[in-house]
Structure 1
Amino acid sequence: MSVAQVAVLSDVHGNLTAFEAVLADISARGIDTIYSLGDVAGKGPRGSQAVQLARERCAVNVRGNWDELLASDRVDDPVGAWWRDELTVEDRRWLGSLPASYDLAFGGSAFRLFHASAASVFTRVFEQHSPAEFEGMFANTQLTGPGPLPTVVCYGDIHGAYVKTVADRTLVNVGSVGNPLDETTACYVVLTASRTARPEAPTVEFVRVAYDREAEVAIAMASGMPEAEAYAIELRTAVYRGFQTPD
């Protein structure tokens, strides 16, 4: 049976080492179409190079919360200014031009892609969410526009992959490529659909990719990036902002 496959990834966060490893894995699978759900830059040391690679390799990029902030004039603290200034003027222009949401048909299902939620790029929806939050992810809003209501929503933002199906609707968090906080390996999703007259709903596969974390840590340390120590702990432990559980 002939199938179609696409890759969906999110939250590269300037971690070029992880991004290149994931792109190599996608290429090895023979997948040509890649969708990126935002936060390409910020937190990691090589946001500008990550932006260039996303522009080259991803068929669609949507805007994340970091993308929106770094593209704006609202960054007024020295820490945020480092990541903003690491980008070129053209990088920032491109990030600011990205759509907040993208609709597509794939395998007979209506998909919607955005970064954090249908409400806002800054409104976070965790895996442990309420029924109302689940419903809201499938709604048409000012952010999504009046497109066809989706049966599958893919998002990023929380850096932890999961899938949840309720009735005929499926919510997928694709995890994080560059700053995973559920496992220490980079994560992305492969969607597979049959090419038949009556295709079944696409399957969702979470793919974990090992990469050289210590090489990325060394680059961050050498770059003079602020909060490099906290970044290193996150990459090594998958624990947010350096907070570790007691022994």
Structure 2
Amino acid sequence: MIKIAIFSDVHGNLPALEAVLEDIEQRGIQQKFCLGDLVDFAPWGNEVIERIRNLNIPCIMGNHDERIAFDFPVIPLSKHSEEETNARFIAIDHSKKSITQDNKKYLAELPFHLKLNYKIGRKHWNIQLVHSGLESNETYLYESENDEVFTDILQQSQSDLVMMGHTHLSFKKRFDNDRWAVNCGSVGRSKEENRLASYVIITMDEEKIIPEIVQIEYPLEETAQQIELSGIPKYYASFLRNEKVSVF
């Protein structure tokens, strides 16, 4: 039996990342993978990157990583309110100014996606890691999508399981022939009501592959207070607290 841990969307939230890493360690899981978006919206972007680098955790490039690495412009999204749009511009500009050149170089060199193959006995398990999709890391795929959206990705990648992040909403969907589409949610900026740090454990043996969504607490209020002190818009502190008030 093999266990691996997969997480995504840390977004500069070092306390949440540390809580997830500690939980993984306590479970005795050695192999860890990250699906990107290490930066933006919390004040520890450099510290998060350096933690991932120092632990040699394989990581792929998220859309926020790409934007900071290459100084791409911020494009307003129709799904965002005016308040969030304004906060987003300020927060991303904060990252562009604060992330070190060495860390930007690291982000720029991340692979776009990764394919894992594990052999257990006579069985090979193929796991496709993407931030949001095979062709783009700006694709929003939710649990409500038609099954064909996910089975097409599984077929195109010749995988038994496709792992994604990006939406900050965790889910797992099982299809014929024991194939899966799984979103591991977000470590540092969950959009779920509980706002817990989320990641996924994949357990494999010769007969089956089983994904488990794990959600854990971290010092959220302390994190929100540090956001408020950092120059990042207070919108993101209110978001973590799941408050309905949008403030800057």
The 2-side partners of 1:54 and 1:209 are apart by 19
**Does the CA contact (< 8 Å) of 2:5 and 2:201 recur in 1?**
yes
> Deviation string for 1:45-101 (max 9, x for gaps)?
111100011112253100100011010122476542211122100111111111111
- Quote the offset at 1:126 in angstroms: 1.3
Code of the residue aligned with 1:98 in structure 2: it is L
Deviation of 1:238 (Å): 8.4
Rounded Cα–Cα distance in structure 1 between residues aligned with 2:145 and 2:243: 21
State the partner residue of 1:190: 201
Q: Is the 8 A contact 1:36 1:58 kept in 2?
A: no
Number of aligned residues: 227
Structure-1 separation of matches of 2:180 and 2:39? 28
Q: Determine which of 234, 238, 241 is the counterpart of 1:233.
A: 238
Within 1, Cα distance between the matches of 2:243 and 2:131? 20
Give the structure 1 partner of residue 8 of structure 2.
Answer: 10
Do the aligned partners of residues 78 and 215 (structure 1) sit closer, same or farther apart at CA in structure 2, a change above 3 Å counting?
closer
Q: Deviations over 1:119-178 (max 9, x none)?
A: 2011111111124422343254xxxxxxx6112000000001100112122100001100
Determine whether 1:133 maps to 2:145. Answer: no
SS at match of 2:139: coil
Q: Compared with structure 1, are the counterparts of its residues 123 and 211 closer, same or farther at alpha carbon in structure 2 (3 Å cutoff)?
A: same
Residue identity over aligned pairs, in percent, reads 30
Whether the 8 Å contact between 2:66 and 2:72 is mirrored in structure 1 is no
Distance 1:139 1:70, change over 3 A: farther
Does the Cα contact within 8 Å between 2:40 and 2:91 map onto a contact in 1?
Answer: no
Partners of 2:243 and 2:34 lie apart in 1 by 21
Gaps of 5+ in 1: 141-147
> For residues 1-247 of structure 1, what are the structure 2 equivalents within 5 Å?
3-75=1-73, 78-106=90-118, 107=120, 108-140=124-156, 149-168=158-177, 169-182=179-192, 183-194=194-205, 199-225=206-232, 227=233, 229-237=234-242, 242=246
Unaligned runs of 5+ in 2: 75-88
TM-score relative to the length of structure 2: 0.85
Specify whether residues 238 and 149 from structure 1 end up closer, same or farther in structure 2 by C-alpha distance, changes over 3 A only. Answer: farther
Distance 1:179 1:61, change over 3 A: same
Structure 1 residues 39 and 52: CA distance shift in structure 2, 3 A: same
> 2:117 & 2:49 partners in 1: Cα distance?
26
CA contact (8 A) 2:41 2:91 kept: no
- SS in structure 1 of the partner of residue 28 of structure 2: coil
Q: Give the secondary-structure state (helix, strand or coil) at the position aligned to 1:85.
A: helix
Per mean C-alpha deviation after superposition, the further-off stretch among 152-161 and 77-86 is 77-86
What's the RMSD between the two structures over aligned residues? 2.0
Structure-2 change in CA distance of 1:238 and 1:165 (3 Å): farther
In structure 1, how many angstroms separate the alpha carbons of the residues matched to 2:145 and 2:223? 33
